[in-house]
Amino acid sequence: MSEPQAKTVRPLYFIASYPRSGSHWVRSVVFLLAAMRSAPKGGTIDLRNIDNIIPWDVHGALYEKATGQKPGQMSEVEIAAARADVHRLLATEFKGLPVVRTHAVRGTFHGHPTINPQVTRGAAYIVRNPLDVASALIDETGTPPMKIIEMMMKADRRVRPHKVAVTEPQGSWSQNVASWTGREEKAILVLKFEDIAKNPTHQFRKLAEHMRLPITEEALIQAVKLIDAQRKKAGRQGLARDYRKTLQPIHARAVIEGHAVEMNRHGYLTPSVLDYVGLTKEQALEIGARHAPRAVQ
């Protein structure tokens, strides 16, 4: 009796970030660039179909298909173990692109890898100033500032499951950022939200090259314009926020004290930021070292 043939693996490329840092923006451009290559000339592209082409790896339906179990009946440990199975499913059976969105910290979750290395070829990680991230979360959820700041500082934080998604291990902002960008790796392209906002065409060209996505300059410019128009229509802010409209100095100081090390590494610990909260860089880094990220458990 012949052995069953191994399924062909299309290695996955992850578009990763901490929430409200621009991963949906990046995913939308990648979706458009891919769709424009196959869409008939003059045809319309429906961005509402994006989840069927570039999925988020917390969708409950993926876990049910990968394990045969109802996600709502699975324990957190079982969900953690199933992440690798979901990624393998996406790499072998998924009909869309071999590109996946994630907000997960890169590390382990109950001893299981959060990103399956056996079916991964690379990633783009989008990092955004945590002052702007906090401001966006406060404005969009109506949650009091200190609640958001505490959430962003919580080590090993996981998001609760809800109707269509399983729990996701996001960690703190610093944990998440450090896990993907802590050491230089050719397989991981780090993009700053602020750089994308200033020159999206240049940054998305870098992304297409890193992904080895064949595109034309005309298609790139068109995709950037389409997404920019959609974001403006939805009220999304492309440029960096003025976090001072949302965060009082005491709030901004709490963010800095919690994330100074990673903020400094990515160029966010600027004189204007430090002046706003009344700290020197040395003071901020000394306090921030107490909250330096560690690996997710």
- Tens digits of per-residue pLDDT, 2-17? 445 578 999 999 999 9
pLDDT at residue number 20: 95
Among 45-59, 201-215, 234-248, name the one with the lowest average pLDDT: 234-248
pLDDT of 106 reads 97
Q: What is the mean pLDDT of residues 190-195?
A: 96
Find all residues with CB under 8 Å of 197, minimum gap 6, and list them: 238, 239, 240
pLDDT over 60 (residue 297):
no
Residue 44 pLDDT class (50, 70, 90 cuts): low
Vertex 18 angle, CA 162 and 206, to 5°? 130
β partners of residue 191:
126
The answer to whether 124 touches 24, Cβ cutoff 8 Å, is no
What ranges in the chain are assigned the alpha helix state H? 23-38, 50-53, 60-67, 76-92, 130-141, 145-153, 173-181, 193-198, 200-211, 217-233, 249-265, 271-277, 281-288
Predicted confidence at residue 230, as pLDDT, reads: 77
Which pLDDT score, from 0 to 100, does residue 1 have?
Answer: 40
Domain boundaries, the chain: 12-129+157-236
Rg over CA atoms, the chain: 20
pLDDT in the model for residue 2: 42
pTM of the model: 0.92
Report how many helices (DSSP H) and strands (DSSP E) the chain contains, helices first.
Answer: 13, 8
Residues 6+ apart with CB under 8 A from 34: 53, 97, 213
Summarised one tens digit per residue, pLDDT across range 59-110 is 999 999 999 999 999 999 999 999 999 999 999 999 999 999 999 999 999 9
The architecture CATH gives domain 12-129+157-236: 3-Layer(aba) Sandwich (3.40)
3-state helix, strand, coil in the chain (%, to 5): 55, 10, 35
Span 163-168, average pLDDT? 94
Q: Does the structure show a pLDDT above 80 at 184?
A: yes
